[in-house]
Structure 1
Amino acid sequence: MKLYVIVPLCALFTLTQQAPSRDKCACELTNSEKAFPHDKLSTVENDASKCNSNITPQKTLELESLLLGLERRLPRLQEDVSMLEREDDGQLYAVLSLYVLENEMVEIKQLLDRLNGTTLGHQRLTADTTKQLKDLRAEMQQLETYDTLQVVKRQQDNKQLKRDLDQCRNRLYPIAQPTPPQRNCPHGEFRNITRVRMHTQGEYPDSYKYGAWGQDPKPEAGKENWYWLVMLTSSNIYANYVRRYSSLSSLIVGVSTPGNVEIHSSNPTTNTIQGPNVVLYGEALYYNCYNQDSVCRFNLTTKAVTTLQLPKGTRYNSKGNFCHLDECYPYTDLDLATDESGVWVIYTSKQDFGNLVLSKVEEGEPLTLGQTWRTSVYKQGVTNTFMACGVLYATRYVNKEVEEIFYSFDTTTGVERFDIGVFINKMSPNINSLNYSPVDQMLHAYCDSHMVSYKVLFS
């Protein structure tokens, strides 16, 4: 547009009036549209935020965890009652068996009481949330009437069109899936993990940020259903005992029987636990020895500690941690893992330039280091590792809600993959330890004082 065409509105108005008056002219603008209710939009946003904070995955999974604990507890009670009926001698054995059954009934009652309380709370929450959602929907529909230019509708149409185009493109040019290496695993090939199967904070909610938990893959007779828990109780770095639970329901409701097995009365001191990456195997606890580049094995029966020295140059004392872009997890230099074949240790060293190193820990006396494999993945680009069927898997941080299993190293074939692409939905921003249980193919995570488990899916 040429400059002489642009005429100020006030000047034009003055010319059309042909008024010689020197008074200032004023133009009145009348808007026929209704004023947008910004205060109502702000109220709707606040209500939606409150609704999101009330409905969390933790609330849903709390009920599922309690039901899972009850599901596993009742068959065990039935077995104990059947054994009493078969072997009752009317004397000492019967008295002891009845005492055991009484303790089991007390645990089940605690589980049921907590389940009833949780169910009632969820019913009230569901009723309140349903009403809030109806109100929010009505208010949003009213706010949509102000969108006279149909901007929102066109944005929605564009999103739908983009989805349709993507689907059409994928059908025309299907993405070839990589063929996984063939190997011998009793469960088949690792494919995926389920959503969270169990979630609890146990008997110490929000008290101990770092720790580990799980099951013994090689338990003693009578302890097949037991669980263990290690919490870093000193400076979030050290621990001097392992806590035992006689069942999953006991762990969920926070009733520890038989209780603590102490490594040493002082914490920290020689041979106590350093860092959260701990496993239990064959009634022995494997962990990073305090202030050493060594693996300690603590026998829970004899209380004896055996030390395994790692190769010279191994990084320890928080110099070779798991990390992501925002932070590193302190004292995670050594990661102990279990699978169908036994115990493994994952670490890094100066001569490997910070890349992951994997070694098999051989049982026996003395404790020895078996075959070692070197990988090409940088340890500080990894947040956690675990073993399953002789394959090392590594995770990385995606965001506060999601972790990705992105890498694998097959010890049988030597094949590395960086395209696993299995995602873990988290209950807390950080996974401090990750253990695979070959007993039931569960993946146990300790996340900022939350104990969470996932089912591993094989083909």
Structure 2
Amino acid sequence: MIVTLLYFVLFRSAVVEGARSLWTEGSGSGDPSGECICEAFLPNSTFPIGELISLESTAVEINRKLEIEISKVETYEVKLNIYIAKISNLTVLIKLMEDDPDSYSEFHLEEVKIQIKQVEALIVELQASIQTTSTVLITIRQQISVVISVLTQLEITYDKNLVLVTRREYLILQQKLEACEIRHNEIFNPNIGICNHRGIRRISKPIISQLNANLNGAFKYGGWGKDSKPLPGSENMHWYYGYSDTLVNKITLYSDYYNLIMRQASKSHELFVNYKYDWQGTGNNYIVRENTLYYQFRSTFGMAKFNMTSLSTLYKEVPKASARFSYHYSANQNLDFAADESGLWVTYATEESKGKLVLGKIDEKTFVVEEVWQTSVFKPSVGNSFMVCGVLYATRSVDSKTEEIFYTFDTHTEQESYVSIPFEKFQDVYVYLDYNPTDQKLYMYNNGYYVSYHVWFNYEGSRDQLSIGY
């Protein structure tokens, strides 16, 4: 492949210096304008320089799209404030008319009706615009995730330093997108942490971040996500663990999403130190809450929590829990921990229940199961389960590309129901799925890859109708 010096100018000086040692042959010449043109012969088998140039061009285009959407979000905020002011004024006016109807004529009533219709039309228009921006942001995120995955593979195959510059550019775009989505959420979804909805309406397409931090395709067991109740200063902290079987012997923390993708860990905690302690677990259904790892203990069947602040572990039995009933996709998933807006939960099965799911609410102070609900769904038929606002959601496989939320159990009403909320899998087998109430997202560990989903809810009330459900 022949590349001119101009191509290398599109990169960084670091790329030029790194590539220089790979040149197999070179020549220099001058054109009539006096410009010196240098040519280098760089075989495709040595380094995919053309691919990186193309990816940088894509980065410029993504950045342009992102700037447009950021500008739109700012405009939406201004419009929304205007519409809220109009609605407030109309509310006051209608209240005055109700209190003193004799002071207002039919003309006044018609005028108010016209104003209501105008505001309604504006809200419908704004809602359509918001939905379009939401779709564009998701598309941009998918584009960035796919490219980062490609760059990760290039980094494994080729010289890390040469790929790193372009990879960082995309991660900067990823951070910019995250900031835009956060602002979007603040404006249009003020309900994070609040349960004023009627349950899940739909799930987004999978957002694939990249292969696990170990860059090991054999690490098919594991999990990742965010702290469901972060300590102050740790709101952006992410965690990860992966391994080739269901043993749990380590937890790695990252200060934010960027460092997770860059594999730059802030801390790593071992659950086993020879001759000192053996706090290892098993299964793939652990969570982090208040900087504490909740997981299934290995040496004696029960639940354990590892406090990463005090570096101490506590173990408790779960009354009647059986080690015989695991989820459909993986062995040893006998205790499944979950956290939502209302606290900490564990699901399991008992011999008494004949393998049907049992849901327990955990008292976080005493670390005991304080309340129990019996469901009618057979645990080995379930792919995984998670909790949202005190409601249990269970999934099952539809086909190799599709998973489905098929069952719910509401602990408030003790009512269960069979539903159909399909969503796309990245690959056919996954071992970890949990909801995080801090961002209303699902986190999945799918065949060694970090995957996540946005969740849309059925909202009540007029203001919530403007929410896109991030």
Q: What TM-score, normalized to structure 2?
A: 0.57
Say whether residues 1:112 and 2:172 are aligned partners: no
**Contact 2:287–2:338 (CA<8 Å) still a contact in 1?**
yes
1:183-202 to 2 correspondence within 5 Å?
Answer: 185-202=195-212
Q: Which residue does the alignment assign to 2:358?
A: 357
Q: Which residue does the alignment assign to 2:346?
A: 345
**Contact 1:237–1:274 (CA<8 Å) still a contact in 2?**
yes
Call closer, same or farther: CA 1:307–1:275 in 2, change over 3 Å: same
Equivalents in 2 of 1:429, 1:384: separation in Å? 13
**Contact 2:212–2:242 (CA<8 Å) still a contact in 1?**
no
Aligned partner letter, 1:315: S
Aligned partner letter, 1:304: S
Say whether residues 1:204 and 2:214 are aligned partners: yes
**Percent of paired sites with the same residue:** 32
Residues 387-426 of structure 1 deviation map (CA, whole Å, 9 limit, x = unaligned): 01100000001111111110000000111111x2111211
| Worse-matched range after superposition: 196-205 or 350-359 | 196-205
Q: Which residue does the alignment assign to 1:422?
A: 421
SS of the aligned residue for 1:286 comes to: strand
SS of the aligned residue for 1:446 comes to: strand
Identify which of 307, 315, 326 aligns with 1:307: 315
1:247-262 to 2 correspondence within 5 Å?
Answer: 247-256=256-265, 258-262=266-270
Equivalents in 1 of 2:457, 2:426: separation in Å? 23
Aligned partner letter, 2:429: N
Question: 1:201 Cα deviation (Å)?
Answer: 1.1
Q: Which residue does the alignment assign to 1:230?
A: 241
Identify which of 282, 306, 317 aligns with 1:298: 306
Question: 1:241 Cα deviation (Å)?
Answer: 1.4
Residues 213-261 of structure 1 deviation map (CA, whole Å, 9 limit, x = unaligned): 111121111110010112235xx021211111111122223222x1312
Q: Which residue does the alignment assign to 2:336?
A: 335
SS of the aligned residue for 1:292 comes to: coil
Question: 1:64 Cα deviation (Å)?
Answer: 3.0
Call closer, same or farther: CA 1:405–1:66 in 2, change over 3 Å: same
Equivalents in 2 of 1:378, 1:370: separation in Å? 23
Question: 1:282 Cα deviation (Å)?
Answer: 1.0
Equivalents in 1 of 2:259, 2:221: separation in Å? 20
Q: Which residue does the alignment assign to 1:378?
A: 378
Aligned partner letter, 1:221: P
Question: 1:63 Cα deviation (Å)?
Answer: 3.2
**Contact 2:148–2:209 (CA<8 Å) still a contact in 1?**
no
Equivalents in 1 of 2:249, 2:276: separation in Å? 7
Q: Which residue does the alignment assign to 1:444?
A: 443
**Contact 1:195–1:454 (CA<8 Å) still a contact in 2?**
yes
Residues 370-395 of structure 1 deviation map (CA, whole Å, 9 limit, x = unaligned): 11000011111111001011000000
Say whether residues 1:320 and 2:325 are aligned partners: yes
SS of the aligned residue for 1:333 comes to: coil
Equivalents in 1 of 2:391, 2:338: separation in Å? 11
Equivalents in 2 of 1:358, 1:386: separation in Å? 11
Q: Which residue does the alignment assign to 2:279?
A: 271
Equivalents in 2 of 1:238, 1:307: separation in Å? 17
Aligned partner letter, 1:225: N
Q: Which residue does the alignment assign to 2:433?
A: 434
Call closer, same or farther: CA 1:286–1:268 in 2, change over 3 Å: farther
Q: What TM-score, normalized to structure 1?
A: 0.58
Call closer, same or farther: CA 1:374–1:259 in 2, change over 3 Å: same
Call closer, same or farther: CA 1:351–1:335 in 2, change over 3 Å: same
Question: 1:334 Cα deviation (Å)?
Answer: 1.2
Question: 1:207 Cα deviation (Å)?
Answer: 3.7
Equivalents in 1 of 2:315, 2:332: separation in Å? 18
SS of the aligned residue for 1:65 comes to: helix
Equivalents in 2 of 1:394, 1:117: separation in Å? 35
Structure 2 residue runs without a partner (length 5+): 1-138, 150-163, 175-193, 459-470
Equivalents in 1 of 2:330, 2:213: separation in Å? 24
SS of the aligned residue for 2:273 comes to: coil
Equivalents in 1 of 2:148, 2:420: separation in Å? 28
Call closer, same or farther: CA 1:255–1:66 in 2, change over 3 Å: farther
Aligned partner letter, 2:248: A
Question: 1:116 Cα deviation (Å)?
Answer: 10
Aligned partner letter, 1:321: S
Aligned partner letter, 1:64: I
Equivalents in 2 of 1:309, 1:250: separation in Å? 36
Aligned partner letter, 1:63: Q
Call closer, same or farther: CA 1:109–1:342 in 2, change over 3 Å: farther
Aligned partner letter, 2:145: S
Q: Which residue does the alignment assign to 1:407?
A: 407
**Contact 1:239–1:267 (CA<8 Å) still a contact in 2?**
no
Question: 1:208 Cα deviation (Å)?
Answer: 0.9
Aligned partner letter, 2:400: K
Give the CA RMSD over aligned residues.
2.9
Say whether residues 1:246 and 2:247 are aligned partners: no
Call closer, same or farther: CA 1:213–1:443 in 2, change over 3 Å: same
**Contact 1:268–1:290 (CA<8 Å) still a contact in 2?**
no
Aligned partner letter, 2:210: T
Equivalents in 1 of 2:147, 2:344: separation in Å? 31
Say whether residues 1:63 and 2:143 are aligned partners: yes
Equivalents in 1 of 2:148, 2:392: separation in Å? 29
Call closer, same or farther: CA 1:337–1:110 in 2, change over 3 Å: farther
Structure 1 residue runs without a partner (length 5+): 1-58, 70-107, 119-183
Equivalents in 2 of 1:388, 1:116: separation in Å? 32
Residues 271-311 of structure 1 deviation map (CA, whole Å, 9 limit, x = unaligned): 31211111001110000001333110100011111112111
What is the aligned residue count?
A: 286
Say whether residues 1:281 and 2:361 are aligned partners: no
Greater Rg by CA: 1
More strand by share: 2
Equivalents in 2 of 1:404, 1:335: separation in Å? 18
